[in-house]
């Protein structure tokens, strides 16, 4: 007995009226199978009716097979266009997530892969017309990112007042592209992707939490969670500036603003979220010393009086040392 799928697949010997042929070589899609009997002294040659064997294939692709740690990567599984169901994405047998097939495409995006090599597969569960199938392994590489977003906090704003703040990053390869990956900016504010500047006029008060992503020229990304507090327009407390606005631990800084109160009876000043001692306090100035043990980068200075806060950003500079011969 000869089995064909257009071309000859193979042959099998007839025994007790039955011939069996086994293969795993069918390509993906529809395969039209026939079986032909050559005949003998007692029986004439004959060919069977056609049998359609539909083989499901899953192909898997990555949006970028080498990414920096924390960079979102999207896996795309392609299955037959009419197939339905759920596609399971796995990393060496460990489930990453699922995607629902639509038009033969299912996707899954993650930024949680650890540094190293990952063997990714996509499996479809099958339906009444298509069998289940698993893709070949796809090698995904995650490298250590040298990038770091230096902005750890953003200054508060006031409803209906102009607002501007620029995000800072170190490492990687310029130019950078900035975006918001989750959450949202306060209403009225926008992030300029080419510069990392958040600007506009906030139209509502409240706290907005969001995550920013910076992608460098090599398509490596790093993200950081941030938030902006927009105080009501009638908020009486406001930091106008810091003098100086940057320096090293131990430096004396003057906070200039309004409505701090004549003394510190109901107020406090915090540096990077920790309360510090005020060396001087008046209604429009507060003097304090930058505490030790603070990493270099942008750090919030927050004055709170009677439950109302205002913040400004102080840039902590790294310390340098030198030694003689």
Enter the tokens of residue 3: 């089995």
pLDDT at 277: 95
Question: For 245, which DSSP code?
Answer: S
pTM: 0.42
Strand partners, 276: 269
φ/ψ (deg, to 5) at 107: -130, 155
Average pLDDT, the chain: 89
Output the CA–CA distances (angstroms, integers) from residue 134 to 86, 117, 138, in the order listed. 12, 20, 11
Is the confidence at residue 323, as pLDDT, over 80?
A: no
Enter the tokens of residue 10: 């193979």
Confidence band of 221 (pLDDT split at 50, 70, 90): confident
Mean pLDDT of 84-99: 94
The reply to whether 238-316 shares the fold of 59-143 is yes
The CATH homologous superfamily to which domain 238-316 belongs is Immunoglobulins (2.60.40.10)
Ordered by start, the domain boundaries in the chain are 2-55, 59-143, 148-231, 238-316
Mean pLDDT of 121-142: 87
Strand partners, 157: 230
* Domain spanning 148-231, CATH architecture: Sandwich (2.60)
The CATH homologous superfamily to which domain 59-143 belongs is Immunoglobulins (2.60.40.10)
pLDDT at 145: 67
Rounded Cα gap, residues 261 and 306, in angstroms? 10
| Cβ neighbourhood burial of 31 (10 Å; 0-12, 13-18, 19+) | middle
For 134, half-sphere exposure in the C-beta direction (CA atoms, 13 angstrom radius) is: 12
Q: Is 77 helix (H, G, I), strand (E, B) or coil?
A: strand
| Cβ neighbourhood burial of 24 (10 Å; 0-12, 13-18, 19+) | exposed
């Amino acid at each position: 007995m000869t089995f064909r799928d257009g071309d000859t697949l193979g042959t099998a010997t007839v025994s007790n009226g039955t011939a069996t042929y086994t293969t795993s070589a069918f390509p993906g899609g529809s395969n039209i199978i026939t079986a032909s009997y050559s005949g003998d002294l007692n029986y004439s040659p004959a060919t069977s009716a056609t049998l359609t064997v539909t083989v499901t294939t899953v192909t898997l692709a990555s949006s970028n097979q080498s990414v920096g740690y924390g960079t979102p990567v999207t896996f795309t599984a392609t299955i037959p266009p009419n197939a339905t169901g759920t596609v399971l994405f796995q990393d060496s047998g460990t489930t990453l997530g699922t995607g629902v097939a639509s038009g033969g495409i299912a996707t899954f995006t993650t930024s949680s892969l650890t540094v190293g090599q990952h063997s990714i597969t996509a499996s479809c569960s099958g339906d009444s017309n298509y069998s289940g199938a698993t893709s070949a392994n796809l090698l995904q590489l995650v490298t250590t990112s040298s990038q770091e977003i230096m902005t750890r906090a953003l200054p508060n704003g006031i409803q209906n007042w102009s607002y501007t703040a620029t995000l800072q990053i170190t490492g990687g390869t310029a130019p950078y592209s900035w975006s918001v990956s989750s959450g949202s900016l306060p209403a009225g504010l926008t992030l300029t992707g080419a510069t990392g500047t958040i600007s506009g006029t906030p139209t509502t008060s409240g706290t907005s939490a969001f995550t920013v992503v910076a992608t460098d020229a090599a398509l490596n990304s790093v993200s950081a969670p941030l938030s902006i507090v927009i105080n009501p327009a009638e908020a009486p407390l406001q930091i106008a500036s810091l003098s100086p606005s940057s320096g090293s631990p131990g430096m004396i800084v003057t906070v200039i603003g309004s409505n701090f109160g004549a003394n510190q009876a109901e107020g406090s000043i915090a540096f990077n979220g920790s309360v510090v001692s005020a060396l001087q306090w008046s209604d429009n100035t507060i003097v304090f010393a930058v505490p030790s043990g603070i990493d270099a980068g942008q750090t919030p200075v927050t004055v709170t009086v009677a439950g109302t806060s205002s913040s400004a950003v102080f840039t902590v500079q790294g310390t340098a040392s030198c030694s003689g011969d």
